[in-house]
Amino acid sequence: MFRNQLPHYEILSGEAMEVLDSGWRRIVSEIGVEFMSDRALELFRAAGQKVEDNNVRFDPDFLLAQVAKAPREFGVQARNPANNVHIGGDHMVFGGVYGPPFVREGEARRDGSMADFENFARLAQSFSALDTAGGVMCEPNDAPLDSRHLDMTYALQTLTDKFYMGNVVSAVNAADTIRMTEILFGGREAIERTPATISLINCNSPLRWDDRMLEAQFEYSGANQPVVLTPFLLMGAMSPVSIPAALAQQMAEALTGIALSQLIRPGAPVVFGSFLSNIDMRSGSPCFGTPESAVGLLATGQIARRFGLPVRSGGGLTSSQTPDAQAAYEGLMTMLPAFLAGINWVMHSAGWLEGGLVASYEKFVIDVQVLEMLQQEFRPLEVTEESLAFDAHTEVGHGGHFLGAAHTLERFRTCFYRPFLSSSDNYERWTRDGARDAATRAGEIARTKLEEYEQPPLDDAIREELAEYVTRRRRELGD
Amino acid sequence: MFRNQLPHYEILSGEAMEVLDSGWRRIVSEIGVEFMSDRALELFRAAGQKVEDNNVRFDPDFLLAQVAKAPREFGVQARNPANNVHIGGDHMVFGGVYGPPFVREGEARRDGSMADFENFARLAQSFSALDTAGGVMCEPNDAPLDSRHLDMTYALQTLTDKFYMGNVVSAVNAADTIRMTEILFGGREAIERTPATISLINCNSPLRWDDRMLEAQFEYSGANQPVVLTPFLLMGAMSPVSIPAALAQQMAEALTGIALSQLIRPGAPVVFGSFLSNIDMRSGSPCFGTPESAVGLLATGQIARRFGLPVRSGGGLTSSQTPDAQAAYEGLMTMLPAFLAGINWVMHSAGWLEGGLVASYEKFVIDVQVLEMLQQEFRPLEVTEESLAFDAHTEVGHGGHFLGAAHTLERFRTCFYRPFLSSSDNYERWTRDGARDAATRAGEIARTKLEEYEQPPLDDAIREELAEYVTRRRRELGD
């Protein structure tokens, strides 16, 4: 897996960090955070925090004491051990887009289907730059609603041999995900020892954690499966329009959610989540890849490290409706800061389009291309005497070229990253080949990858047990 | 003008810098650098360097002593003082694409013309994110060859009131540019006191400075006009395939060129130039926006600062044939590192397409959009008690929204950068408006800007004198 070994890019001064620190402390202690769960409220009350209706006012130092129980980094196992990942430190883990109801393929925009979901799972399996397909690459609208989580989990388990995300729609769905994971990995103990899922717990920002997400959190943290406590902040709507205010709110929300996991199970793995952008103040539409979101992202990495926590952000976010130049520059305006900020778990790394409403086949491939380039860029540059290639200079001398130099011939296959999507063909050749733009070529690559896809092997008995579980539970759930 | 007030992103350790240092020292002293100019050779010989045929072997410390005479930063005046720029320190100056023989507009790719050249000058004048149109936004192939430089300079002087680049094709062209600049700014003394042009002197890499460029350098440095000494390195062709080797070569070439300027006129303003990317080892085609070029760029900023020199790179470079997703991600893969590296003078900031063979109207607008976003991003984040907006949190509380909060209403016009090209329209609205992608919208914006363009006022007497100069010199040059 990829390790980001270039330096962190940190933009907050010590003084700025102190101000932000005073900000979240004041929010949690004076305003408080709402938890729409009696179990959560009871835990906080028992721990001595001020509970009034659903609101909890915290002693900030109590929160820090809870946060300190969380591991700084942790492993997540995949059914193929070669695909195990590590979350934290200088590791970066990348997953596909999460949550879109719609799919775009070429010029067609349609409801996402189970076939699309499976295709995105296959694509994620096909690209080594991705550590996981994610969890809900698109909503499979044609699958029965109450048992859909079973179909998605089964697809992720059988079509990929990478780790996968847990369903968080309800406690029931979470419990089913955990049970299916136990089947795949050989029992509860195996996945409690090393987690095999990671789950996204979004805050209903500002300052409220909702019941269904909290129920899922109880299930996952209870089973020692990592949860990503993510304030959902579009500045101007869910937070004030000032970046520092949004950062302080993000700290208040993430730290309180993380503290809950530590009360549920001390030492449970957690991730400091961030989904931070802004709305267009004229239309109210969410905007992505904005300068403000990039600044927020850079600051977030630094903030999470201050608490000794792994950190999550988005990847190739964009508002664009189509996989065009805007989709690419907005995507990179998020993805490159994620590398600079030392983000550990990058969701929406491939396929995100139209503000997250659409999973795009073409954008998926474009994003993987960009991701591969950045994974190449953020490696340490080895500067040694040998790397100076003085002999090559002696051989070529003045005004010559290095194409045939011994140093070049020894290295030409591996010296530079070779893109699979980008074209540097000359105009004549490009025209002869159909004058296809990047989106067109990306669509062709997606189709080829799907044709060439081979399902990773899985023990028949396990597959049958999973299928039986899906069938039985679907019946029980009335679908 | 824009100041980049975020930290520099530095990836070279002290040890790495020492190795690179040993690299350029060995190249200049053991292999040497060729200067295809008797005047240059004579200056180096007189200064005690080892000259043999056209090759000069240098004492590295002699080079450093010359480099130390160069100003760390300097101003360049524009005929509208509001457009004066400062090159060095935390200032960043942005110019349009330089050199393409072809133009792309929509689906049409054609020879560049004088009309195109003038259009790009008008576009550069229209966007405040650009400090200059540049010098040769496209080659005006329909203008007479020997006097073309007069037409281009006249267009830059009259269609924009920003500074402009000097023609470097020959000593004659350079002298004409300087003479026309004297006319515009009121005489030689005025432009020697504060330069009014900047000129690109490319190295014929590896390790050779050619006669025509050197002749232009003599003219410009002699007149105290800044020159940008730029190694032209496509790794694999003009330099070894190893990044450290290319960096050492870049130092050897840039420092020897800079030393020459200091011998021509001690204290003459210079810029440490960098044009560093790689070829596709399968086809030999130049590639841009590559991971290797980004790493080289980050290192280059750090290296130039070590010598106390302003530094130049490219901006939105791409190999793409069309203003598509590839053009956008490759462009940003160069432009964002330019900001991180603290580059002072960013050439090719708008309009570059197809490896620099094409100036694109659409790409010009896309690049300006990206540039504006980055100029917004690389501003210091002010984190103060007030910026925490605690009152807004008190007002909105839990689970509400900030759209109507007093804090929001006071700031909604200016709190976020408002893009002019990017769309966050919902799908229905976007479809109703014609489902135009970013390139299509960019083309429309270019046309609107050209329709709305107003020529900046210029004293009639000066304009006449410039026109007379062009007419007389064209006759003398036999065109």
A11/B381 touch (CB, cutoff 8 Å), yes or no = yes
Report, as an integer, the average pLDDT of B151-171.
98
ipTM: 0.98
Report whether A405 contacts B206 (CB < 8 A): no
Cα separation, A225 vs A271, in Å, equals: 11
Closest CA to B438 of A331, A173, A432: A331
3-state secondary structure of B319: coil
3-state secondary structure of B64: helix
pLDDT bracket for residue A420 (50, 70, 90): very high
Residues contacting residue B460 through CB under 8 Å, at least 6 positions apart: none
Judged against a pLDDT cut of 90, whether residue A323 lies above it is answered with yes
The pTM of this model reads 0.98
Cα separation, B331 vs B348, in Å, equals: 10
pLDDT of residue A333: 98
pLDDT of residue B1: 86
B241/A415 touch (CB, cutoff 8 Å), yes or no = yes
Report whether A185 contacts A79 (CB < 8 A): yes
Q: What is the largest CA-CA distance in chain B?
A: 80
Report, as an integer, the average pLDDT of A306-332.
98
Q: What is the pLDDT of residues B87-114, one digit of tens each?
A: 999 999 999 999 999 999 999 999 999 9
Report whether B58 contacts B26 (CB < 8 A): no
Identify from B367, B381, B385 which residue to disrupt to test chain A contact, counting A C-beta atoms within 10 A and taking the largest count: B381
Determine phi and psi for B172, rounding to 5 degrees: -60, -45
Q: Where are the alpha helices (DSSP H) in A27-143?
A: 38-46, 60-67, 114-126
Give the count of alpha carbons within 13 A of A425, CB side only. 17
Q: Which residue is closest to A248 within chain B, CA to CA?
A: B388
| Domains of chain B with CATH codes | 2-8+67-377 (3.20.20.480)
Report whether B148 contacts B135 (CB < 8 A): no
Q: What is the pLDDT of residues B261-301, one digit of tens each?
A: 999 999 999 999 999 999 999 999 999 999 999 999 999 99
Q: What is the pLDDT of residues A348-364, one digit of tens each?
A: 999 999 999 999 999 99
Identify from B424, B425, B426, B432 which residue to disrupt to test chain A contact, counting A C-beta atoms within 10 A and taking the largest count: B424
Report, as an integer, the average pLDDT of B20-31.
98
Mean pLDDT of chain A: 98
Q: What is the pLDDT of residues A137-166, one digit of tens each?
A: 999 999 999 999 999 999 999 999 999 999
Q: Which residues of B touch A427 (CB under 8 A)?
A: 109, 321, 354, 357
A424/B329 touch (CB, cutoff 8 Å), yes or no = no
Closest-CA distance, A7 to chain B, in angstroms, reads 7
Q: Which residue is closest to A6 within chain B, CA to CA?
A: B11
Judged against a pLDDT cut of 90, whether residue A1 lies above it is answered with no
Q: Nearest CB to B398: which of A207, A294, A325?
A: A207
Q: What is the pLDDT of residues A36-83, one digit of tens each?
A: 999 999 999 999 999 999 999 999 999 999 999 999 999 999 999 999
Residues contacting residue B41 through CB under 8 Å, at least 6 positions apart: B35, B51, B54, B56
**What's the sign of the alpha-carbon dihedral B81, B87, B90, B91?**
positive
Report, as an integer, the average pLDDT of B351-365.
98
pLDDT of residue A181: 98
Identify from B238, B398, B417, B432 which residue to disrupt to test chain A contact, counting A C-beta atoms within 10 A and taking the largest count: B398
Q: Tell me, rounded to whole angstroms, the distance of Cα B351 from its chain centroid.
A: 12
Q: Nearest CB to A381: which of B11, B333, B415?
A: B11
Cα separation, A360 vs A119, in Å, equals: 11
Cα separation, B427 vs B84, in Å, equals: 43
3-state secondary structure of A98: coil
Q: What is the pLDDT of residues B408-434, one digit of tens each?
A: 999 999 999 999 999 999 999 999 999
Strands in A50-52's sheet, in edge-to-edge order, are A50-52, A55-57, A33-35, A208-209
B389/A242 touch (CB, cutoff 8 Å), yes or no = yes
pLDDT of residue A408: 97
Q: Which residues of A touch B317 (CB under 8 A)?
A: none
Q: What is the pLDDT of residues A253-270, one digit of tens each?
A: 999 999 999 999 999 999
Q: Which residue is closest to A439 within chain B, CA to CA?
A: B325
pLDDT of residue A271: 98
Q: Nearest CB to A7: which of B11, B23, B206?
A: B11
Count CB atoms within 10 A of the CB of residue B395: 16
pLDDT bracket for residue B456 (50, 70, 90): very high
pLDDT of residue B454: 98
Q: What is the pLDDT of residues B163-206, one digit of tens each?
A: 999 999 999 999 999 999 999 999 999 999 999 999 999 999 99
Closest CA to A442 of A422, A462, A414: A422
pLDDT of residue B185: 98
Closest-CA distance, A273 to chain B, in angstroms, reads 18
- Cβ pairs A/B, distance under 8 A: 402
pLDDT of residue A437: 98
Q: What is the largest CA-CA distance in chain A?
A: 79
Terminus-to-terminus CA distance in chain B, angstroms?
39
Judged against a pLDDT cut of 90, whether residue B162 lies above it is answered with yes
Cα separation, B317 vs B371, in Å, equals: 13
Q: What is the pLDDT of residues A91-105, one digit of tens each?
A: 999 999 999 999 999
Mean pLDDT of chain B: 98
In total, chain B counts a number of residues equal to: 479
